[in-house]
Amino acid sequence: MAGTSDIEKAADVLRAGGLVALPTETVYGLGANAEDPVAVSRTFQVKGRPPSHPLIVHIGGAELLDDWVQEVPARARLLAEHFWPGPLTLVLRRGRRVPLEATGGLETVAVRVPDHPVALALLSAFGGGVTAPSANRFGSVSPTTADDVRAELGDAVDFVLDGGPCEVGVESTIVDATGDIPTILRPGGVTREDLESVLGCPLAVPASSRIRVPGQHPSHYAPHAQVVLVQPEKVVTEAELAQELGHRVGAFLPAAFGDAEVKAHAVVRVPDSMAAYARGLYGFLRELDQRGCDIIVASLPAEAGLGLAIANRLRRAAGPRAAA
């Protein structure tokens, strides 16, 4: 676990225009000084990320929000008060401190306060905002451990802060808070049900939006293996058929199957708890890649609670060929 000297060194790297991989409760981020256009641009280069895709600015507390945006509507402030620090990102009007390089050229900015002691300590020591997209190549599986970052990005990162495994495991929920009624642009670690409970109104989750946000690419969060989505009752049949056809199949076996045997190259038994599933999702995908699978057969969970975020990630991992 990163100590005080590591955090001070990381803050110095950020001040010098370098890149720091930092832990959050969701995934590890590739951090840069949010006010340094050159450092922010280097983030895009290292990830291979299109510069039109906006980044999330991480700040040290809800009380700092007004420093980074033009205005904070009452509903946005209510969400910040309830869910920060935590896996919620608010999209608001860009303040002057935020360069267009960080927003993909948009006049809106995505902001959040991470709920991880190492991330918060770094933000405090640094004294500014940090853009931190997931610390992986664009479109691939997000990292949830420091080792994942090192394996994926290697020396392209100037410093890696090890904060242990991420507790949530899927990215933050992104909410467009610029309008009268907030809209969920990306499901994530804060559930739609919890947001609706606080706001007292239903929230839409549109398939696309006028505001570009992370995770909207047709193929995202994807392993090297092809992800095939089927109905839950067909996972075993489809996995075994693909194995018979000569593929090295990895199967995500739903909890309802218990200890059932599957004739596949590798099997991941999906936790019954959606929190445990979300926490382990990216690790499961990486494991099946590392075991040499070329096809992963999975089904979507019920789209309630964290199941909505898991289903979103699996659909993006499957890409345009997603069948379910």
Cα–Cα distance, 234 to 256 (Å, whole number): 12
For range 245-268, the mean pLDDT: 95
The DSSP code sequence of 86-122 is SSEEEEEEBPTTS-HHHHTT-SEEEEE----HHHHHH
Tokens 């370098």 found at: 18
Question: What confidence tier does 320 reach under pLDDT thresholds 50, 70, 90?
Answer: confident
Cα–Cα distance, 29 to 123 (Å, whole number): 13
Average per-residue pLDDT for the chain: 95
In this prediction, residue 217 carries a pLDDT of 65
Render pLDDT for 211-226 as a digit per residue (tens, 0 to 9): 777 766 667 889 999 9
Question: What confidence tier does 1 reach under pLDDT thresholds 50, 70, 90?
Answer: confident
Question: What confidence tier does 81 reach under pLDDT thresholds 50, 70, 90?
Answer: very high
For range 14-43, the mean pLDDT: 98
In this prediction, residue 3 carries a pLDDT of 84
3: number of CA atoms within 13 Å, CB side? 1
In this prediction, residue 324 carries a pLDDT of 46
Chain centre distance of CA 67: 24
Closest to 26 measured CA to CA, from 175, 173, 221: 173
Chain centre distance of CA 104: 18
pTM: predicted TM-score of the whole model, two decimal places:
0.95
Render pLDDT for 120-131 as a digit per residue (tens, 0 to 9): 999 999 999 999
pLDDT at residue 207 greater than cutoff 80: no
Render pLDDT for 279-293 as a digit per residue (tens, 0 to 9): 999 999 999 999 999
- The separation between the first and the last C-alpha atoms of the chain, rounded to the nearest angstrom, is 40
Q: Does a cis peptide bond (omega within 30 degrees of 0) precede residue 85?
A: yes
Render pLDDT for 166-199 as a digit per residue (tens, 0 to 9): 999 999 999 999 988 899 999 999 999 999 999 9
Closest to 228 measured CA to CA, from 213, 206, 243: 243
